[in-house]
Amino acid sequence: MMPSSPTLLAGINLEDVLKVLRPLSWGAADILRAYARGEQPPHGFSKALSVDNGGEGPVSAADLAVNQWLLDGLKQSFPSAAWTLLSEETAKEKLTEGQPLAADWLWILDPLDGTKDFLQGTGEYAVHLALVHQQRPVLGVVLLPEAEELWIGVVGEGTWCENRSGERAPVRFSERTVTHELILVASRSHRDQRLEQLITALELGDSKAVGSVGCKVATILRGETDLYISLSGKSAPKDWDMAAPEAVLLAAGGAFTHADGRELTYNTGDVRQAGCLIASHGKAHATLCKKGAQAMEVIDPGFQV
């Protein structure tokens, strides 16, 4: 147990929030696993219909079901909480481009990160929940349904992994610190020529391909890999892709920044997390950022890292 249960905002402490997040997270895992297998989902949600039969397919059905499950759960558990709820599914109706939400405290949710992996059956999809205070994450949950891992990170308190029984496992960052020994976790897709050039310039060790951002960060937390790079091109990841993975990595003592060292900020009026973003176990982060920023000046002059 943690030695204290800090107050997150008026009348709500951390342990109260975690008591709600645990069953919500495992409920989300059960919903997603059912849709992934074409089975009847729990908690009253409808089985996915094929597009040919007038449905939206398993991804849309799963996305919407988990979105409703999480939002309803948070609203019912904390009906008077002074926070705002935002998810990938509600962004279009809630957000106005260029205008941040009027919220000091904001939940940012992604009910299904890694839709390609969900469809392809790799198991490398995740659920992201992050509580952001004044544009920075203070609490993050990354749920890996197929791995049965619930990563919880509280900035200033630490990060751990829980199973369904509530048993905790610690973060196990690797001991690798020399750049040419570091192992990169990368996407199977979203790899353009600039990213390949950047990876070459960093002169890293091995690499591993993994799906969801949450799954990628989990490999760093387990010590299997050491860094992840996001390099935006025609599109960029969004707040809900990065907030929870950053929170669990940051709380563990790792780092997740732009290549020039700038912090990621959320609820800025632009949900895109554009630029060259580097997530790592932190032990060589400054070196990685320096080399990355220098390489991008050559690879794509004028690119805002």
Percent pLDDT > 70 in the chain is: 94
- Across residues 106-131, what is the average pLDDT? 95
Q: For 7-170, which CATH superfamily applies?
A: Fructose-1,6-Bisphosphatase, subunit A, domain 1 (3.30.540.10)
Q: What pLDDT was estimated at residue 189?
A: 67
Per domain, the residue ranges of the chain are 7-170, 179-299
Report residue 59's pLDDT band, with 50, 70 and 90 as the boundaries.
confident
Give the full edge-to-edge strand order of the sheet including 126-133. 84-87, 105-113, 126-133, 136-144, 149-154, 158-162, 168-170
Per-residue pLDDT at 99 exceeds 90? yes
Mean of all residue pLDDT scores within the chain: 92
Q: Do the strands 184-186 and 227-231 form a parallel or antiparallel pair, or are they unpaired?
A: parallel
Two tokens at 45? 């949600």
Rounded (10°) angle between helices 14-37 and 57-77: 160
CA–CA distance, 129 with 141 (Å, rounded to integer): 5
**Single-letter amino acid, residue 208:** K
Dihedral sign from CA coordinates of 177, 182, 185, 190? positive
Report residue 268's pLDDT band, with 50, 70 and 90 as the boundaries.
very high
Rounded (10°) angle between helices 213-222 and 239-251: 10
Report residue 53's pLDDT band, with 50, 70 and 90 as the boundaries.
very low
Q: What is the dihedral of CA 220, 17, 126, 151, to 10 degrees?
A: 20
Between residues 192 and 229, the one the model is more confident about:
229
Q: What pLDDT was estimated at residue 9?
A: 84
Q: What pLDDT was estimated at residue 211?
A: 93
Burial status of residue 273 (CB atoms within 10 A of its CB: 0-12, 13-18, 19 or more): buried
pLDDT digits 0-9 by tens, 193-206: 999 999 999 999 99
DSSP state of 59: H
Q: What pLDDT was estimated at residue 289?
A: 98
Report how far Cα 68 is from the mean position of its chain's Cα atoms.
Answer: 19
- Answer yes or no: same fold for 7-170 and 179-299: no
- Across residues 92-107, what is the average pLDDT? 94
CA–CA distance, 158 with 229 (Å, rounded to integer): 23
Q: What pLDDT was estimated at residue 295?
A: 97
Per-residue pLDDT at 134 exceeds 50? yes
Asked if residue 244 lies in contact with residue 141, where contact means CB atoms within 8 angstroms, the answer is yes
Q: What pLDDT was estimated at residue 5?
A: 62
Per-residue pLDDT at 105 exceeds 70? yes
pLDDT digits 0-9 by tens, 237-256: 999 999 999 999 999 999 99
Per-residue pLDDT at 101 exceeds 80? yes
Per-residue pLDDT at 216 exceeds 50? yes
Query: Per CATH, the architecture of 179-299 is what?
Result: 3-Layer(aba) Sandwich (3.40)
Q: What pLDDT was estimated at residue 2?
A: 42
pLDDT digits 0-9 by tens, 151-178: 999 999 999 999 999 999 999 999 999 9
Per-residue pLDDT at 77 exceeds 60? yes
Report residue 58's pLDDT band, with 50, 70 and 90 as the boundaries.
low
Two tokens at 218? 């989990």
Per-residue pLDDT at 3 exceeds 80? no
Report residue 219's pLDDT band, with 50, 70 and 90 as the boundaries.
very high
Q: What pLDDT was estimated at residue 56?
A: 47
- Across residues 213-222, what is the average pLDDT? 98
Which residue is listed with tokens 């392809």? 120
- Across residues 180-186, what is the average pLDDT? 96
Q: What pLDDT was estimated at residue 55?
A: 38
